[in-house]
Amino acid sequence: MQTKTSSAQSAHPVKLSSRAEAAALLAERARGGRVFIPAGPVEPLSLAEAFRANPELADDLSFCGLFVPGLNRFDWATLSLKASAEVFLPSPDFAATIATGQTRVIPCHYSAAWRYLRTAPFKAAVFHVAAPDAEGFCSLSLSADASPAFFDRDVFKLGLINPSLPFVKGAPKLHLSALDAWVEADAPPAQLSTPAPSGDVDAIVHHVTSLIEDGATLQAGIGKLPGAIMAGLTGRRGLSIHSGLIGDWILPLIEAKVLADQADSLKAGIILGSHALQARMAQETRLKLIPITETHGAAHLGAIERFVSLNAALEVDLFGQINCEFAGSRTLAGVGGAVDFLRGARLSPGGKPIVMVQSVGKQGEPRIVPRLTTPSVSIARSDAPILVTEQGAIDLEPLDQDARAQAIISLAARQHRADLISAWSQHRGAKA
């Protein structure tokens, strides 16, 4: 994907002398409106610093982006008492301004975020890109999920040209002439380190990897379990990736020559991991970075044969309802693309929608419970997946309500099963 100019842009964008000047011009052009901020590894924190040095510039601006919990920890609503923000993936880092109403949470599936970016009123969009090539094209570098939504929108377009961002060959490209103004903003891209999973996950890895065949196409989410699963697949061959993100978990697969050796066998929206991963993927000829409409679109996912989605959950109840967002009443993240991928895997010929949960938490608490007590449900029981714990893997979709509850109980830790059986008996008695 390459783009040059539309009717809204000049072929001679203004070159700005400093990030302070860029922040001032952005404030002028977007006053009283919404500004798109790219996120993930290309969050423009140098621009945030320019606003922080002159907080009045952020007055009456609303900053909107797909900020990644655990990586994008800066709260843009704190730039000014009169600033605000909109997020799709809430995290504890935004809890204070969410509580005051300065940050508004848009609770939607990741696929729906694209529609919001395309149709909600915006006055400006920021593009954080690599230095241009000889023809003037700038790679979107490590993140292509959301920015293309603004390629043809009639908004003020500010480019941050960053020589430290890798020119990713497989990323969409934006021509300098498509921008209204640009400034050089040299800063290293953000890294995300994922610690090893706590507890013994060998059994979960065994159950999941036994479901994955040679030639499958995989999706993996953020978290500790996906990396452990991928490390267990080094004996497979001909695997492809179609995912919202590619993390460091792909490096052992490349090293073991597990991946299909053909163009576009690696598709994702963003590269999310270490600088070593970023450098490696910049040169990967099989990689194609694509926007949300393709990474999470039902039509695209359903057309992939043997598409396997791998996502982790925090809690599951006996109805098959799943919590991916809350620790008690505390918000840890949003639902993201979990449901998009689950549904896509169900539509896929030979697809497998897998949700993994450790049956016991860090403090010994059960992760399989009689009924969720969270503020909302992340995955409804009508989107029943293949549920995997240390005890095994069971496809919940074909099971009726009672059979499903019994299956879920069999996947719980043995010390918690008696209480779950009792709770389900009480539920059945209440129904009678």
How far apart CA 309 and CA 383 sit, in angstroms, is 13
In the β-sheet with 352-356, what is the strand arrangement from edge to edge? 287-289, 266-271, 240-246, 217-220, 307-312, 352-356, 386-389, 392-395
Helix, strand, coil in percent for the chain, rounding step 5: 30, 25, 45
Q: Is 10 helix (H, G, I), strand (E, B) or coil?
A: coil
Q: 202-431: which CATH number, 3.40.1080.20, 3.30.360.10, 3.40.710.10, 3.40.50.10860?
A: 3.40.1080.20
CATH number at 2-184: 3.40.1080.10
How far apart CA 90 and CA 416 sit, in angstroms, is 31
The one-digit pLDDT tens for each residue of the chain (432 residues) are: 777 544 344 567 999 999 999 999 999 999 999 999 999 999 999 999 999 999 999 999 999 999 999 999 999 999 999 999 999 999 999 999 999 999 999 999 999 999 999 999 999 999 999 999 999 999 999 999 999 999 999 999 999 999 999 999 999 999 999 999 999 999 999 998 776 666 679 999 999 999 999 999 999 987 778 888 998 999 999 999 999 999 999 999 999 999 999 999 999 999 999 999 999 999 999 999 999 999 999 999 999 999 999 999 999 999 999 999 998 878 888 899 999 999 999 999 999 999 999 999 988 999 999 999 999 999 999 999 999 999 999 999 999 999 999 999 999 999 999 999 999 999 987 654
Identify each DSSP E strand in 155-257 by its residue range: 156-162, 173-175, 181-184, 217-220, 240-246
- Going from N- to C-terminal start, the domains of the chain cover 2-184, 202-431
Sequence letter at residue 112: A
DSSP bridge pairs for 388: 356, 393
Identify each DSSP E strand in 163-255 by its residue range: 173-175, 181-184, 217-220, 240-246
Is the fold of 2-184 the same as that of 202-431? yes
pTM of the model: 0.94
